[in-house]
Structure 1
Amino acid sequence: MDIRSRALENGRPTLRIRDLTVDFPKRNGSFRAVDGVSLDVWPGEIVGVIGESGSGKTMTALSTLRMLPKRAVVSGSIELGQRRILDLSPADMRKLRGDRLSFIPQDAMRALNPTMRVGRQVGEPLVLHRNLSFKTAVSRAVDLLRAVHVREPERRVEDYPHGFSGGMQQRAMIAMGLALEPELIISDEPTTALDVTVQAQVLKLLKEIRDREATSILFITHDLGVVAELCDWVYVMYRGQIVEQGSVERLFTEPRDDYTKMLLASTPTLFPREAAI
Structure 2
Amino acid sequence: MGFNQVAESDETIIDEVLERQRILETVINNSPVMAFLWAPEEDWPAKYVSENVSQLGYSAEDFLTGRIMYGNIVHSEDIDRVRKELTTCCEIGKDDFVTRYRVITGSGEILWVEEKTFIQRDEKGRVVNFQGIVRDITTEIKNEIALRDALESQKALMEKQKALLERQRALETVINNSSMVVFLWKAEKYWPTIYVSENVRQFGYAPEDFISGRVLYGKIVHPEDLLLVELELEENCEEGGKEFNRQYRILTASGEVRWVCLLYTSDAADDLLCVDLG
Task: Please give the TM-score of this superposition, normalised by the length of structure 1.
Answer: 0.20
What's the TM-score, normalizing by structure 2? 0.20
Higher-Rg member (1/2): 2
Higher relative contact order (CA 8 A, sep 6+): 1
